């Protein structure tokens, strides 16, 4: 790991991927992900998040560039990389006749663990995913969320140094999502590096140490949630009915149906707008800008 | 390459891909045995000599070949396609597992799956006095070669057809199974085909069945044909295995 910081679990340098028919999924992506952090890749559909994860997981060759996981080159030394990674792919489905135990236990054996260690890891991860009671139930008899949790449990059981989860909580209910977040934070506290992709801003905000926004195959920004929110030039947002306001007075407005989201830079502007609305007997509240506001702005969402 | 790890992983994958299915869907096992045995049922009913005639004995060899062959060709296509579809393969790629373990594990899994039926039919053949020690050795060796050849052919089809939908490949797999198992001289002797008897050399299933018939004295002995059947089986295994190795990729380009 001569050229790479010992603090980084993943280093990507100029990673590009062009698929057949000249579709450019990734364009010269540079990214460093630190050891022991939960790192989220945020981006609109087709931004290149899954392509990037698949390259890191040695499933896909980049067109150009280099990537390292714990110092091992993803392109030239995939076997060394595979010893340290585990993955839950996007839209992965569970085998009908497999049980959660089959997944967790046999995946541990395939990673080279002995039977006793495999049993211990499988039990721990299934308990963490609240799947212990269903450990012997074939996946065909489980709900979509339970199947998803079974796959996540199999990945957590791996004890891999770097775990990559592509939209892990899609299809999970609120309790299931929080359960997954909690397990991921615990793994990060143990020094594991967690990379996930998500469309859910609350998930990114709740679970990530840092996150990157990717759009059209390019890195837009990277940082903590607060750092990213600070990159947008406004502090508050106020949601008001469209017909209650003179739009020409405001420069940053997003239209959502018959409502307007008005972005404001200062406390005074926010207080003044709320005051005007209340005077008109219209409910209005100034709230701090959210990660979603920053994401839409930075990822190129159109503002009126 | 750690040979011990490769063999251990092969066994784990074979176990994963067979035992849960056998445990939780034993009907599938019965279906495969019943499917292979159906032609024998009709042969026993309608052929000359009934269940004690020579046609029935030839048919029993056909059942043994098809109990292995049907699942080898069908499962090798469908499993690879299905693993890709449900993304099990992606999860396995992101593990310290050699691609050889994966393909050998799948192949061994089919054998485990078809083993109970094959053993039952072989024991029945011994009970009927069809097999002696020499013919049993031929049965085992030709069955293994037939199983390897069909799995390699299945892998090759699945590898080359990686953009075909799982449903379409499923239909292709079943059609190929019928083509490989029920049409060529597997349940019957190639002599029945007259001038078309060369068809027996075309497919691994008919080559294996022919070898078993020779060893059990159910066909007139022909040393050249006996050697040729072995050679064709071995060449098929090697050729399709090389094709799979050349084309199969753990990582997409």
Instruction: Please state, in angstroms and rounded to a whole number, the distance separating the CA atoms of residues A22 and A5.
Output: 34
Whether the per-residue pLDDT at B244 is higher than 80: the answer is no
pLDDT per position as a tens digit, B211-226: 999 999 998 889 999 9
pLDDT per position as a tens digit, B132-180: 999 999 999 999 999 989 888 888 887 777 778 888 888 888 888 888 9
Pairing of strands A193-198, A252-256: unpaired
Where does the pLDDT of residue A302 fall: very low under 50, low under 70, confident under 90, or very high at 90 and above? very low
CA A300 to chain centroid = 19
Across residues A196-223, what is the average pLDDT? 92
Q: What does the domain layout of chain B look like in residue ranges?
A: 3-247
Cα end-to-end span (Å), chain B: 23
Q: In this predicted structure, what is the pLDDT of residue A253?
A: 87
Question: What's chain B's average pLDDT?
Answer: 88
Across residues B67-72, what is the average pLDDT? 84
Q: In this predicted structure, what is the pLDDT of residue A24?
A: 92
More confident residue, A92 or A38: A38
Kindly determine whether residue A95 and residue B93, on different chains, have CB atoms separated by under 8 Å.
no
Kindly determine whether residue A59 and residue B21, on different chains, have CB atoms separated by under 8 Å.
no
Least-confidence region, from A104-113, A217-226, B29-38: B29-38
Q: In chain B, which residues touch A (CB < 8 A)?
A: 5, 8-9, 12-13, 15-16, 20-21, 23-25, 85-88, 90-97, 250-253
Kindly determine whether residue A91 and residue B16, on different chains, have CB atoms separated by under 8 Å.
no
Whether the per-residue pLDDT at A10 is higher than 90: the answer is yes
β-sheet bridge partners, residue A92: none
pLDDT per position as a tens digit, A95-107: 888 999 999 999 9
Q: In this predicted structure, what is the pLDDT of residue A2?
A: 47
Question: What's chain A's average pLDDT?
Answer: 91
- All residues at 6 or more sequence positions from B157 whose CB lies less than 8 Å from its CB, including other chains: B77, B169, B172, B176
Instruction: Record the tokens describing residue B222, joined without a space.
Output: 């022909």
Instruction: Please state, in angstroms and rounded to a whole number, the distance separating the CA atoms of residues B9 and B104.
Output: 9
Residue of B nearest to A155 (CA): B91
Residue pairs spanning A and B at CB distance below 8 A:
88
What percent of chain A is modeled with pLDDT above 70? 97
Across residues B77-85, what is the average pLDDT? 78
Residues of B in contact with A93 (CB under 8 A): 85-87
Kindly determine whether residue B253 and residue A61, on different chains, have CB atoms separated by under 8 Å.
yes
Side-chain half-sphere CA neighbours of A166 within 13 A? 23
Q: Does domain A233-288 have CATH number 3.30.70?
A: yes
Q: Does domain A8-224 have CATH number 3.40.50.300?
A: yes
Instruction: Please state, in angstroms and rounded to a whole number, the distance separating the CA atoms of residues A64 and B75.
Output: 37
Residues of B in contact with A109 (CB under 8 A): 8, 12
Instruction: Record the tokens describing residue A197, joined without a space.
Output: 């992709």
Reported ipTM: the value is: 0.83
Question: Which residue's entry shows tokens 């143990």?
Answer: A190
Q: In this predicted structure, what is the pLDDT of residue A303?
A: 38
Q: In this predicted structure, what is the pLDDT of residue A1?
A: 47
pTM of the model: 0.84
Q: In this predicted structure, what is the pLDDT of residue A63?
A: 95
């Amino acid at each position: 790991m001569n050229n790479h910081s010992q603090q980084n679990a993943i280093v990507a340098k100029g990673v590009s991927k062009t698929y057949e028919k000249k579709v450019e999924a990734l364009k010269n992506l540079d990214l460093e992900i630190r050891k022991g952090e939960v790192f989220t890749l945020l981006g609109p559909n087709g931004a290149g998040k899954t392509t990037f994860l698949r390259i890191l997981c040695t499933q896909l060759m980049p067109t150009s560039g280099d990537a390292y996981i714990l110092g091992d080159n993803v392109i030239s030394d995939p076997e060394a990389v595979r010893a340290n990674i585990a993955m839950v792919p996007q839209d992965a489905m569970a085998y009908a006749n497999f049980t959660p135990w089959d997944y967790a236990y046999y995946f541990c054996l395939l990673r080279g663990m002995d039977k006793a260690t495999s049993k211990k890891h499988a039990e721990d991860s299934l308990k963490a995913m609240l799947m212990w009671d269903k450990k012997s139930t074939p996946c065909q008899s489980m709900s979509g969320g339970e199947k998803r949790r079974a796959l996540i449990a199999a990945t957590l059981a791996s004890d891999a140094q770097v775990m990559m989860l592509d939209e892990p909580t899609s299809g999970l209910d609120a309790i299931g999502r929080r359960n997954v977040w909690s397990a991921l934070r615990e793994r990060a506290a143990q020094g594991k590096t967690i990379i996930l992709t998500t469309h859910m801003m609350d998930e990114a905000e709740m679970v990530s140490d840092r996150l990157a926004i990717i759009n059209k195959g390019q890195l837009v920004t990277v940082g903590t949630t607060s750092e990213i929110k600070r990159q947008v030039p406004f502090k508050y947002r106020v949601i008001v009915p469209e017909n209650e306001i003179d739009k020409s007075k405001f420069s940053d407005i997003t239209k959502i149906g018959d409502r307007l989201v008005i972005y404001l830079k200062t406390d005074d502007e926010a207080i003044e707008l709320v005051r005007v609305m209340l005077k008109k007997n219209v409910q209005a509240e100034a709230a701090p800008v959210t990660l979603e506001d920053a994401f839409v702005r930075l990822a190129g969402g159109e503002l009126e | 390459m750690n040979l011990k790890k490769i063999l251990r992983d092969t066994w784990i994958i074979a176990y994963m891909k067979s035992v849960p299915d056998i445990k939780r869907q034993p009907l599938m096992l019965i279906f495969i045995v019943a499917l292979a045995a159906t032609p024998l049922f009709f042969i026993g009913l309608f052929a000359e000599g009934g269940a004690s005639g020579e046609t029935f004995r030839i048919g029993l060899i056909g059942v043994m070949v098809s109990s292995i062959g049907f699942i080898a060709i069908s499962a090798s296509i469908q499993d690879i396609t299905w693993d890709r579809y449900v993304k099990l393969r992606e999860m396995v790629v992101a593990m310290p597992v050699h691609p050889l373990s994966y393909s050998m594990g799948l192949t061994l899994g089919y054998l485990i799956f078809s083993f109970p039926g094959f053993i039952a039919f072989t024991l029945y053949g011994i009970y009927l006095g069809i097999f002696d020690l020499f013919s049993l050795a031929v049965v085992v060796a030709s069955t293994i070669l037939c199983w390897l050849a069909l799995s390699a052919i299945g892998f090759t089809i699945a590898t080359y057809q990686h953009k075909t939908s799982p449903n379409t490949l499923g239909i292709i797999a079943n059609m190929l199974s019928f083509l490989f198992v029920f049409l060529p001289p597997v349940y019957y002797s190639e002599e029945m085909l007259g001038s078309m008897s060369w068809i027996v050399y075309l497919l691994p299933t008919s080559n294996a069945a022919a070898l078993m018939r020779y060893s059990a004295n159910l066909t007139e002995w022909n040393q050249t044909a006996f050697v040729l059947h072995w050679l064709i089986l071995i060449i098929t295994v090697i050729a399709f295995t090389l094709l799979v190795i050349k084309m199969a990729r753990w990582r997409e380009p």
